[in-house]
Amino acid sequence: PTANIGVVGLAVMGSNLARNLASREGNTVAVYNRSRSKTDELLAEHPEAEFVPGFSYEEFAANLQKPRTAIIMVKAGRPTDAVIESLMEVFEPGDIIIDGGNSLFTDTIRREKAVREAGFNFVGMGVSGGEEGALNGPSLMPGGPDEAWVTLGPILKSIAAVAEGEPCVTHIGHDGAGHFVKMVHNGIEYADMQLIAEAYDLIRRGTGKSPAEIADIFAEWNRGELESYLIEITAEVLRQTDAATGKPLVDVILDQAGAKGTGAWTVQTALDLGVPVSGIAEATFARSLSSHPEQRAVSGGLPGPTEDAFTVEDADAFVEQVRLALYASKIVAYSQGFDEIRAGAAQYGWTIDLGAVSKIWRGGCIIRAQFLNRIADAYDADATLPVLLTAPYFVEALGRAQDAWRHIVQVSAGAGIPAPAFSSSLAYYDGLRAERLPAALIQGQRDFFGAHTYKRIDKPGTFHTLWSGDRTEIEAEDTH
Ligand code: NBP
């Protein structure tokens, strides 16, 4: 056996990852694909790479040094289970099976348990950055046993993206921790994209600037605290002209956003954990709303604001207010995402270093940004920070932005321009700040119709008012 690492599944992600591995000093890569043609293609197109092809699972296993270490890059779901089962038949105890696909973290928890009980090591690894990342340096989020990390760590460090001199990979935690963090990463990506889209829409409709002019604004923003890959590519998309019509490309693209489901997973999981990720949820729902042409077709005639369409007196000032609203909302969205990771770790018994997570997202992945350094600083200063946005740096930034943020939310509501992520982020912020919430009234209602009881601000215990009797208060069993 000559290979120190193997890849199963040679579609676009697997073949790019295999090429990345093969290009690094010290790696010899065993490759296998169910249908032979993909393996033949990879070998023919990349004679420079030191691949050791196998044409059966037996051959693939025989080509690997022990402990055998294999990364699976096949379709998530049943195909991944099928490959794991096949590898377990030809591997030996102590060998390491890594799932690099986009698996749901609960599947990873289930698989890790089954594979471990059979004597193997199982690593569920989030891989971010798409095809380009897989080839040139992804952000990697492996979860699994410490034992596997000893062998795997150096290999993964050799292929990961590098940000500020550090490889974008860290051992996230046990079993499903890596795929969980990758899921939340994708959810944050949804929120970030929606916020940028709202900013563009408000500027366009408020100032009448062209997409090309707005591209210049985003390019300018990319030189400041918003510097990020998503802001950078937004400028490029807005600047693109359609060859067929001569119009801005953004004006000929159908306004229905698709989704592959990881945003929905993030929100579903947050609901189960009781974590308000309103920015991610609104972003996911906004894509859903856009994708219902039949509903939108019958809704165009709904009455809008009776006041005249909004006029912006000072376009430069307005653009700056939108920038501040975007930055503040982005802080909220990331804070909520990290809150979900914190809650997930508590629920599933993972120890996750949130600062390390923010650092490995600085390169290779879609949400790579300057901003992640500020998050790392916040967790460096206080690793147990209960709410990320209460770190001093963010408090200052939110304080600086909040008047503009409130103004933009008012203006968008007044003008009838939807800004669900801007406004829900502000509502979350004000909800956190509130000294008293109307939740007291909700507890009263719950006690009225369901005897769900309430606690008092002035003494310990659990209480119930005899609503259908004489309305006196009695001490009650805690029925939560
Ligand atoms: P696909 O998701 O399109 O899967 C195709 C591969 O799965 C082929 O190699 C195919 O083999 C193999 N496969 C299937 Br389908 N069923 C199989 C089975 N029962 N046994 C063995 N192999 C089977 O490939 P991809 O687009 O390269 O994505 C790979 C993984 O990476 C997925 O989980 C995907 O969600 C994830 N992904 C991540 C990103 C990202 O940005 N992180 C981007 C894209 C994809 P065949 O050639 O014999 O049909």
Pocket test for ligand 1, best of 16, 37, 73 (most atoms within 8 A of CB): 73
Expressed in angstroms and rounded, the spacing between residue 9 Cα and the centre of ligand 1 is: 6
Query: What percentage of residues in the chain have a pLDDT greater than 90?
Result: 96
- Both tokens of 377, joined, read 């600083």
C-alpha span between 339 and 326 (Å, rounded): 20
Q: Does residue 67 have a cis bond before it (omega within 30 degrees)?
A: yes
Expressed in angstroms and rounded, the spacing between residue 38 Cα and the centre of ligand 1 is: 12
The string of pLDDT tens digits covering residues 12-52 is 999 999 999 999 999 999 999 999 999 999 999 999 999 99
Expressed in angstroms and rounded, the spacing between residue 79 Cα and the centre of ligand 1 is: 8
- Both tokens of 169, joined, read 């990979």
- Both tokens of 385, joined, read 């920070």
C-alpha span between 209 and 250 (Å, rounded): 14
Amino acid at 348: Y
Which residue lies with its CA nearest to atom 41 of ligand 1?
A: 130
Residue 66: active-site member? no
How sure is the predictor about 371, in pLDDT bands with cuts at 50, 70 and 90?
very high
- Both tokens of 193, joined, read 């994209």
The string of pLDDT tens digits covering residues 47-92 is 999 999 999 999 999 999 999 999 999 999 999 999 999 999 999 9
The CA distances from residue 263 to 169, 192, 243, 282, 285, in Å, are: 22, 12, 33, 10, 9
Question: How many CA atoms, within 13 angstroms, populate the side-chain half-sphere of residue 7?
Answer: 31
**CA 210 distance to own-chain centroid:** 30
Residue 55 in contact with residue 42, Cβ under 8 Å? no
The string of pLDDT tens digits covering residues 128-178 is 999 999 999 999 999 999 999 999 999 999 999 999 999 999 999 999 999
pLDDT at 18: 98
- Both tokens of 381, joined, read 């200063």
CA-138 nearest atom, ligand 1 = 42
Residue 151 in contact with residue 126, Cβ under 8 Å? no
The CA distances from residue 323 to 199, 236, 328, 405, 412, in Å, are: 7, 18, 9, 9, 14
The neighbouring-strand residues paired with 7 are: 31, 71
75 lines ligand 1 (CB under 6 A): yes
Q: What is the arithmetic mean of pLDDT over 377-406? A: 97
Expressed in angstroms and rounded, the spacing between residue 11 Cα and the centre of ligand 1 is: 6
Q: What is the arithmetic mean of pLDDT over 269-289? A: 98
C-alpha span between 287 and 272 (Å, rounded): 22
Interface ipTM > 0.90: yes
Q: What is the arithmetic mean of pLDDT over 459-466? A: 97
**Tokens 């698709």 belong to residue:** 258
Residue 435: active-site member? no
- Both tokens of 260, joined, read 């592959």
At residue 189's C-alpha, the angle toward residues 364 and 13, to 5°, is 45
Q: Is 13 annotated as a binding residue?
A: yes
More confident residue, 308 or 180: 180
Res. 273: pLDDT tops 80: yes
pLDDT at 479: 55
C-alpha span between 121 and 261 (Å, rounded): 28
253 lines ligand 1 (CB under 6 A): no
Res. 299: pLDDT tops 80: yes
How sure is the predictor about 307, in pLDDT bands with cuts at 50, 70 and 90?
confident
Which residue lies with its CA nearest to atom 43 of ligand 1?
A: 130
Which one of the listed residues 58, 89, 147, 189 is annotated catalytic? 189
pLDDT at 1: 81
The string of pLDDT tens digits covering residues 208-252 is 999 999 999 999 999 999 999 999 999 999 999 999 999 999 999
The string of pLDDT tens digits covering residues 242-251 is 999 999 999 9
Which one of the listed residues 38, 182, 330, 359 is annotated catalytic? 182
- Both tokens of 135, joined, read 């080839």
C-alpha span between 10 and 72 (Å, rounded): 9
